Amino acid sequence: MQSLVAAVLGHPAAAVLADVVVRVLRITVFLSLGVFLAELAVAFGLVEKIAVVSRTLTAPANLPDEVGTAILTTTASTTAGYGMLADFRESGVLSDRATLVAVTINTFFGFAQHIVTFYAPVLIPILGLRVGVLYVATRGLVALAITLTGIAAGALLLDASNVGRASADASPDGGTAEPSATAGETDPADVLDDPPESRRAAVRTALAETGEKVRDILPRLAVIYAVVSLLVAYGDELLALAGRDAAGVTAAADGFAGLLGLPGAAIPVIAAYALDTTSGATVIAPLIRNGTFTARTAVATMLVGGIISFAVSTFKRSIPFQFGIWGREFGAKVVAVNTALKIVWIAAALVVLL
């Protein structure tokens, strides 16, 4: 029995599944935080306070004020922000179409988080100030363009039928009607002024709602992550069975580089960047210093690597995460919209650079 346990624990798949457990637990923590904050924001009337800042984004897109809390939360934690949007969709505040618009608007704020956690402390020092800032600024403009696309889509495609609770408060002239007081109803904003018992009850209710929603999402999230991680870990073996090899990534990069007229040295950079951003930056850094790449061609090369990497990152991270949160059908729509907009706007940036 002990030998069987040792054999199972020593199998490479065990290490993959252990990594899945850690990743799913981490996502679950932030997802729970996001749903819990969403419930609290509604219960304590915090939506109205946050809306003062976020309404410049939500109002033009015809989104309810609740979405502003999710958008601003994304700056601190993308997972928490998505958790809040999932909660709003499940509770009927957002239709599927409105949720897609909100997810699109979220893009720039998710990027802003990475400036502090990755781009500034890691990537810019590797690439150098000039190239690093140009690359980060370009990616930032791409993210901003996607967010503005979301706002424009909301303005054109959304109306009161696409939102729930918030739309009921809209007055005929487009403003916000004064809420009417009826027997037995309490304005959520008044909870903050209620006795401690009422506030504790609101927190308990938010915790209960959070637990229920996370229990619905967690099994789906764990299964999808496990399947995808095992497919990625044993990808070479599967390619071999199919009569192919990993050279396909390099071949794709070669085609992109030739089409765009980039230096021949771009091929290994694109291949490395497509698999890992830091590795790609490390490969191209000395080639920038010796003059093989100008600042513009270096940034263009990394953007091409980014386009190719979508195939890897979408399968490895986006699909498990989005399918886990939204379910297969709506998750596929989120992945499709995110990927399409990124490719379109990165391609536009390449046109400007080259």
Residues 98-120 have pLDDT tens digits of: 999 999 998 998 888 788 778 88
Q: What is the CA radius of gyration of the chain?
A: 23
pTM listed for this prediction: 0.68
Q: Phi first, then psi: what are they for 116, rounded to 5°?
A: -80, -40
Model confidence at 204: pLDDT above 50:
yes
Under the banding of pLDDT at 50, 70 and 90, the label for residue 134 is very high
Element (H, E) at 78: helix 78-90
- Between 12 and 283, the more confident residue is 283
Largest CA distance in the chain: 76
Burial level of 2, CB count in 10 A (0-12/13-18/19+)? exposed
169 Cβ contact list (under 8 Å, min separation 6): 176, 177, 179
| Cα separation values, 89 from 69, 97, 176, Å | 14, 10, 22
Residues 36-78 have pLDDT tens digits of: 776 776 666 665 555 556 677 888 999 988 888 888 888 777 8
Angstrom distance (rounded) from CA 354 to CA 343? 16
Residues 227-261 have pLDDT tens digits of: 766 766 665 565 455 555 555 555 555 555 666 67
The length of the chain in residues reads: 354
Model pLDDT, residue 49: 58
- Between 304 and 220, the more confident residue is 304
Q: Phi first, then psi: what are they for 75, rounded to 5°?
A: -60, -35
User: Please, what is the average pLDDT of the chain?
Assistant: 75
Phi-psi region of 245 (alpha: psi -120 to 50; beta: other; left: phi over 0): beta
Residues 140-181 have pLDDT tens digits of: 999 999 999 999 999 999 887 777 654 434 333 334 434 434
Residues 312-343 have pLDDT tens digits of: 777 777 888 888 888 889 999 999 999 899 98
Model pLDDT, residue 305: 82
| Cα separation values, 59 from 147, 176, 353, Å | 14, 11, 34
Model confidence at 4: pLDDT above 80:
no
Domain ranges of the chain: 11-170+189-353
Model pLDDT, residue 14: 76
